[in-house]
Structure 1
């Protein structure tokens, strides 16, 4: 028979004591015994004109070359996106979707939604058995898990509106990378090895299926993520760091996209291969779905936090609403005085997160399919009411006692990657893009060489039942034909006094919102440089399950004891997220923060 996750994350760098001058930034009289020392000072990558921070050194290199040739931040976005589809198969993609938030050098802002959509044949209960129970793995693995991809249409739309260099020049580097091959990093080799068997079984050809055309090519190595014998059987040999991953079929697909733009993916040979793949695996995506897919320009959310303006993604992302809610809830408190990761600061942040994620589960979904009460969710009086009773020194509020805020109208939805770009004229892009789980649905489109997403799991498969990230959703995010699934992606840009200050975002499923929050607080409230800010150990609470996820080194023993005394349950877990950030200093210097949990790389000139 022929055969056609989260990427293991590296351990975070150990944290040491900050230099004496940094520790002295807060008055000694405000020291809190439970606070953690600030992360050790770093030497972040700096640049005078332009910078790219992405999840892979090759993608960063390609993006920076575009900027050096005179391309703008939007050109670099296109080039980086297609490069990541080659060198970061766990999350970089042409078979997924995402969001862009941008701020032009003239101060104009915008948001582009190229999120996947549910196929026309999708139905509300498609992942339930006859008894109404969720069928395991059906929404996460295989052909039924895939939504209609939006990435290529999104990049085409962005370039048509804001691009400067020719489209061909922006896609060509990815074609070359797929043809010549990319050297695997240790993390990517480990990810491919960990998923070898699932790639093999997910892309298994049915017995008796005719081995002709693209399927014969598949047996010859078209599915590049596993190794085959000449007879088409799985070769049980590990990938190693430094091995070259060549993807000739992906190169051919990218060549069609290079030459024909959007039509190189949604029509012609590539579309035919997607439809053949759907027929092979009983998937739902049709040519009509591909023809009808359209990205959406949306108005970004804008809010205030102290002296800063925060620009972020609106629904169908929950990220922007949640981030602005959190920042407004926390603004009355002097977090710097309380101390970094002190029990008191963690208490306040956790209680805000608990309430925000409860609202997310109830009110947020695709605005094209009903009313999302964004203005009410961000109203100052509403947020004050939500935090009523949460005071310094108070204890944990059990999540069972926290529901979504009352009085709002009803809804009438971890493997992602992020990159941040600033060009020489001051245009800034924050882009988060995803296949959802690591390597998406694990389905490789035979003959086209790319992975399909498993974004259908981001819908509420059944109200009240957690998805693969443990996030509970409701009717607002139920499956519907043509509907965009709810996301946690939070690409964001922050300005100060009308000037760019911070570009930030991360992958991480439901942890995206809290990771972006912490990186933002680390820079704006605690004065960390962006490399410190993204490397610092993190905490996470999402209402349900009712515990605080804790990275190693995030809390002092005294803080752990105090939080437990107040009624918090602590859940130690491995590292999550890969924040990529760019900070602009008052003199115009750019400083990059590339998350050490991945292969993330910052570079500039």
Structure 2
């Protein structure tokens, strides 16, 4: 059959399309929606059903905070490894008009906590007492955090935001292969630490596609839906928490629950090559550390050196070494300890910290101590990034600490308790479960918030929203966010490319570079080994979830392939 002649209009359109594709026009240059980019909003989080819950709220007219509340409670159902009612976290908020705020809903030490509560009579740490016992849990902050966030910024009715999680708990949801594997892998601990309870247990184990129904958790969520804060910190749920504490001879009381309140704090603001960094203040160490890291490398030509080249890696590692040394001494709960924020963020101080860096050899961590300044007075979490139609954005990281927290369920309520008390310095100079070393600034005191590495962050460019980013990962959170920001700004990666890129990590002590498989090529490793750098292979580093606003106004998501993370937009 003879083909119809091509019109001049078709020729022009085809030529424009070819030109567009070769010029990178898949990022929206023709003003049309392309795969993975959306105009009206986006949710990126750790589990597909939770992402869907958030997106549904956006489509109903909810804003980013409304969607965040829905996602938080949905993750408590679908992502028990880290999503939670019994944990805490941080929120960084930026309105469409550029106003910023941060919410600290980090857990607090119970009122009966003592500095040496995890030490034996000889002053040695009692193994696992701060990890897998009823003594491991701080007072949860997640529910109050969501209540406070909604009260200040929410639009839709509270009950409508909690209901999706209730539906997921009572009706069930399909398990992914990863979730089934994680629960099966920790089954022995669930059985050992929860006599008489059957939560997350199944004879023969779980498999992909199984429907997980959690009736007690669903009814707990119904109380939160109907009574808000009082549905958790008072009444039946609070009584169940205290009963659970008494069962395991823990120290959290009804008064601890009733006295817990999230705190609004001023964000840490920094700059990097014209970009504005909006991030979390103490008791998160992440915001200060992130700004320090960016300022430490700002003067080096990373773009010219290239992604994960030997020079790039060397500068990043040396910056991380120094920043984590500062973290060990100066960062803690600002309500209990005077954190020298201005001194730590002083550009002259940060650049001075890099002064003893030498290209020909690694700087031993034994030669690096926390910095000093005049006038100073002595890996489980989850993250979600959301942007709504108007351009309001939230970056929230929330945690139980270890995967499945303390592994202790609140009997009758169906949710896991955290083991965040391990994030305190149980003994100065002795590392916690993530190998992080701390001192007096992060010592245990009653009602004090433990130091965190969580680094929820929002980035602006030219006064406009540019990026929303964060990750779980314990000690690696800070460096994962740092490298993801650099991947976009310096190495021109898409949001998905920046999130998927292989990562490495250094935290001062131990003095080694932990790297994912194939993060660095053999020649790069060899060059750095010759200079004295030590490398350790490890599994996945972080699970970054981010959103980038492209120059054409679209939202482009990055969902970490290291997990079940899912990006959805409209």
TM range (shorter): over 0.9
Q: Does 1:113 align with 2:113?
A: no
CA contact 1:44–1:530 (8 Å) conserved in 2: no
How far the C-alpha of 1:577 sits from its partner, in A, is: 1.0
Q: CA deviation at 1:21?
A: 8.4
Distance across 2 between alignment mates of 1:335 and 1:539: 16
Matched, 1:126 2:117: yes
- Find out whether 1:358 has 2:309 as its counterpart: no
Matched, 1:137 2:102: no
Residue 411 of structure 1 and its aligned partner are, at CA, apart by: 5.9
The unaligned stretches of length 5 or more in structure 2 are 1-20, 25-33
Distance 1:444 1:201 in 2: 11
Equivalences for residues 131-280 of structure 1 within 5 A:
131-204=122-195, 218=197, 223-227=198-202, 235=203, 237-280=204-247
Asked whether the 8 Å contact 1:44–1:531 carries over to 2, the reply is no
The whole-number CA distance in structure 2 between the counterparts of 1:348 and 1:576 is 19
**Other-structure match for 1:467:** 432
Instruction: Work out whether 1:395 is the aligned partner of 2:358.
Output: no
Alignment of 1:3-18 (within 5 A): none
Kindly report which structure 2 residues correspond to 1:336-375, keeping only aligned pairs within 5 A, or say none.
336-375=303-342
Deviation at 1:303, TM superposition (A): 0.8
C-alpha deviations, 1:551-576, integer Å up to 9, x for none?
11111111010010110000011112
1:55 is matched with 46
**Paired position in structure 1 for 2:17:** none
Which residue of 71, 82, 89 maps to 1:98?
89
2:246 is aligned with 1:289: no
The SS at the match of 2:89 is strand
Q: Shift of the alpha carbon at 1:389?
A: 2.6
Unpaired runs of 5+ in structure 1? 1-18, 23-42, 206-217, 228-234
Distance 2:541 2:488 in 1: 19
**Equivalent residues of 1:460, 1:474 under 8 A apart:** yes
Shift of 1:142: 1.6
> Shift in Å at residue 183 of structure 1?
1.1
Aligned-pair CA distance for 1:269: 0.3
CA distance in 2, matches of 1:389, 1:157: 45
> Deviation at 1:384?
1.5
Alignment match, 1:309: 276
**CA RMSD across the alignment:** 1.3
Decide which of 419, 423, 441 is 1:458's aligned counterpart.
423
For residues 412-462 of structure 1, give each alpha carbon's deviation from its aligned partner in whole angstroms, at most 9, with x where no partner exists: 6x2000000000000000000000000000000000000000000000011
The 2-side partners of 1:292 and 1:389 are apart by 47
C-alpha displacement at 1:406, in angstroms?
1.8
Offset of 1:192 from its aligned partner?
Answer: 0.4
3-state SS of paired residue (1:513): helix
Q: Distance in 1 between matches of 2:279 and 2:62?
A: 24
Q: Does 1:478 align with 2:453?
A: no
In structure 2, the residue matched to 1:333 is: 300
Q: Does 1:502 align with 2:493?
A: no
Spell out structure 1 runs of 4+ moving beyond 4 A.
Answer: 19-22, 408-412
Q: Cα deviation per residue 1:95-119 (whole Å; 9 max; x = unaligned)?
A: 0000000100011000000000000
1:127-177 deviation digits (Å, cap 9, x = unpaired):
000000001110011210000000000000000010000000000000010
CA distance in 2, matches of 1:276, 1:404: 43
Contact 1:143 1:281 (C-alpha < 8 Å) held by counterparts: yes
Q: 2:288, 2:120 → 1: CA distance?
A: 34
Deviation at 1:44, TM superposition (A): 6.7
Contact 1:411 1:476 in 2 (8 A): no
Q: Secondary structure at the match of 1:368?
A: coil
Q: Secondary structure at the match of 1:483?
A: coil
Q: Tell me the CA shift for residue 20 of structure 1.
A: 10
Matches of 1:548 and 1:132, distance apart in 2 = 31
2-structure distance, mates of 1:170, 1:454: 27
Pick closer, same or farther for the CA change 1:20–1:136 going to 2, 3 Å.
Answer: farther
Residue 204 of structure 1, CA deviation: 2.2
Distance 1:91 1:284 in 2: 23
Aligned length: 541
2:11 is matched with none
1:16 is aligned to: none
The CA distance in 1 between the partners of 2:560 and 2:22, in whole Å, is 25
